[in-house]
């Protein structure tokens, strides 16, 4: 099995270009708000630094908010270089723009992480990077505790078997040339995908599942911050 080498250049794209419409109706950027006294996005930046295996961070922000993004990151990265680039109108486009920005730095592995998941741990980051090194693609997953139903026109129409179903989290890690190529093909084909694992599986190959963490929650509503405090 391949192991993480000191020569492996790993970058992390932190996405924070969304409108935060479900959080505040778009009136405030949730990734800049305070969680336990610090901007939300700074916790993910710090986890990257503490992992000891991330060598560059790219923050994808809304157009015109580079200064706000850098201020939110603060000094949490330590000596790790942090750059910013403007995102697009969808998450998929924002990730693509982040990957294109990152191409100039020549990394081997890239993590793609939601800036609205401030409770990611350094251990999770290392686990995903290790999976990406060994299998070229990896993502953390957790079991789904609830019964899963298909709903159409406000009626339950399907009952999905829970065994084998998992919820996927971020960061999702990939060998860099493959995920960039997959994004370019999806852009050319105008194929929307729900996340980067779907996109990678469609164009490149399988993605290895590593154990996720129930604490690695995504902040969608204001109550998610209160419950995580």
CATH 3.90.550.10 assigned to domain 10-228? The reply is yes
CA distance 22 to 207: 29
Q: What pLDDT score does 228 carry? A: 45
pLDDT tens digits, residue range 84-130?
Answer: 999 999 999 999 999 999 999 999 999 999 999 999 999 999 999 99
H, E, C per residue of 150-172: EEECCEEEEEECCCCCEEECCCE
pTM for this prediction: 0.92
What is the domain partition of the chain in residue ranges? 10-228
Q: What pLDDT score does 227 carry? A: 45
């Amino acid at each position: 099995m391949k192991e993480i080498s000191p020569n492996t250049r790993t970058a992390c794209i932190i996405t924070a270009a969304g409108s935060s419409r479900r959080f505040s109706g778009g009136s405030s950027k949730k990734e800049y708000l305070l969680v336990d006294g610090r901007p939300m996005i700074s916790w993910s930046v710090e986890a990257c630094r503490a992992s000891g295996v991330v060598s560059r961070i790219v923050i994808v922000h809304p157009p015109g908010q580079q200064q706000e993004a850098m201020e939110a990151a603060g000094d949490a990265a330590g000596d790790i270089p942090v750059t910013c680039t403007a995102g697009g109108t969808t998450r998929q486009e924002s990730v693509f723009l982040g990957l294109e920005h990152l191409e100039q730095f020549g990394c081997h592995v890239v993590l793609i992480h939601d800036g609205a998941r401030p409770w990611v741990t350094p251990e999770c980051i290392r686990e995903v990077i290790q999976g990406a090194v060994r299998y070229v693609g990896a993502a953390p997953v957790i079991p789904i505790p609830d019964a899963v139903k298909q709903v159409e026109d406000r009626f339950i129409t399907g009952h999905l078997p829970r065994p084998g179903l998992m919820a996927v989290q971020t960061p999702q890690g990939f060998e860099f040339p493959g995920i960039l190529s997959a994004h370019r093909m999806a852009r050319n084909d105008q194929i929307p995908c729900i996340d980067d694992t779907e996109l990678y599986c469609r164009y490149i190959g399988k993605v290895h599942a590593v154990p996720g963490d129930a604490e690695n929650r995504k902040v969608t509503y204001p109550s998610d911050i209160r419950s995580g405090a």
